[in-house]
Amino acid sequence: MANPKEVAGRAAAEHVETGMVVGLGTGSTVYFTLLRLAERIRAERLSITGVPTSRDTEEKARGLGIPLSELAAHERIDLTIDGADEIDPRFDMIKGGGGALLREKVVAAMSRKEIIVVGKEKVVGQLGSTFPLPVEVVPFAEPHVARVLRRLGAEPTLRRAPGGAVFVTDNHNHILDARFPSGIASARGLQSELDGTPGVVACGLFVGLADKLIIGHEDGSTDVRDRQPPREV
Ligand code: 5RP
């Protein structure tokens, strides 16, 4: 039986072409993309420049010998491959389970094309049905943002690291994981509400940022779906 994350992650790496600047997402599915890219760099002399979306990915990619550069060195990114916590039929997503939502969102916004790699449990009819929405907040503003989230119908919890200490993002902020017991009715509406709340650095709603979805299956096959209509870049 194949690992769906491995199947999807490796398949996405085949879309990378020599000369590309590649956004490297974060998480356990994208890790398999990194492994496959490293294989292709060695075997085919694939020449790419990777832009990592987190310290974690940066360390892993560097350890695998994938050439990296700073985001500031690029105006656009040719292709980004990233995971998701939930993705709906419109290709809107919840991301940030790994805490890298801010950098992932910036890199996605700069990308000509974004491929999302998931197992089938991440594909949902309505966002918020299985996963809380991560909201990255400036620590000072945390109580205020938590109140706003409650007013919006959510149950926010401050994210903690495995040892119990408050989780701190790569940008020195905190994360409120907001569970929406009735799901999220309008991703775009909620995103604009949260983006307009002082103290919110980024919310984990990714609206209109994914172009292609690769779903890995246990039998080793993939479902590949393209966003309809295609995004204007
Ligand atoms: C990190 C993310 C990840 O892409 C998301 O959590 C999926 O992770 P995984 O591939 O490990 O299931 O958004 O901030």
Residues 126, 183: contact at Cβ < 8 Å? yes
Q: State the closest ligand 1 atom to the C-alpha of 27, by its place in the atom list counted from 1.
A: 11
Q: How confident is the model at residue 231 (pLDDT cuts 50, 70, 90)?
A: confident
- Residue 94's nearest CA partner among 137, 120, 126 is 126
pTM of the model: 0.97
Q: Kindly list the structural domains of the chain, giving each domain's residue range(s) and its CATH number in brackets, ordered by start.
A: 4-123+207-224 (3.40.50.1360), 133-202 (3.30.70.260)
Neighbouring CB atoms inside 10 A of 110's CB total 17
Q: How confident is the model at residue 89 (pLDDT cuts 50, 70, 90)?
A: very high
Q: Whose CA is nearest to atom 5 of ligand 1?
A: 84
136 lines ligand 1 (CB under 6 A): no
Q: What digits encode the pLDDT tens for the residues 13-31?
A: 999 999 999 999 999 999 9
- Report whether pLDDT(232) > 80: no
Residue 151: both structure tokens together: 């007013």
Cite the active site residues: 104
Tell me how far the alpha carbon of residue 141 lies from the centroid of ligand 1, in angstroms.
Answer: 25
Neighbouring CB atoms inside 10 A of 220's CB total 12
- Residue 144's nearest CA partner among 161, 156, 160 is 156
Tell me how far the alpha carbon of residue 95 lies from the centroid of ligand 1, in angstroms.
Answer: 6
Q: What digits encode the pLDDT tens for the residues 44-72?
A: 999 999 999 999 999 999 999 999 999 99
- Helix, strand, coil abundance in the chain, percent, nearest 5: 30, 25, 45
The partner residues of 77 in beta bridges, in order of sequence, read: 111
Residue to substitute in 6, 30, 57, 85 for testing ligand 1 pocket (most ligand atoms within 8 angstroms of CB): 85
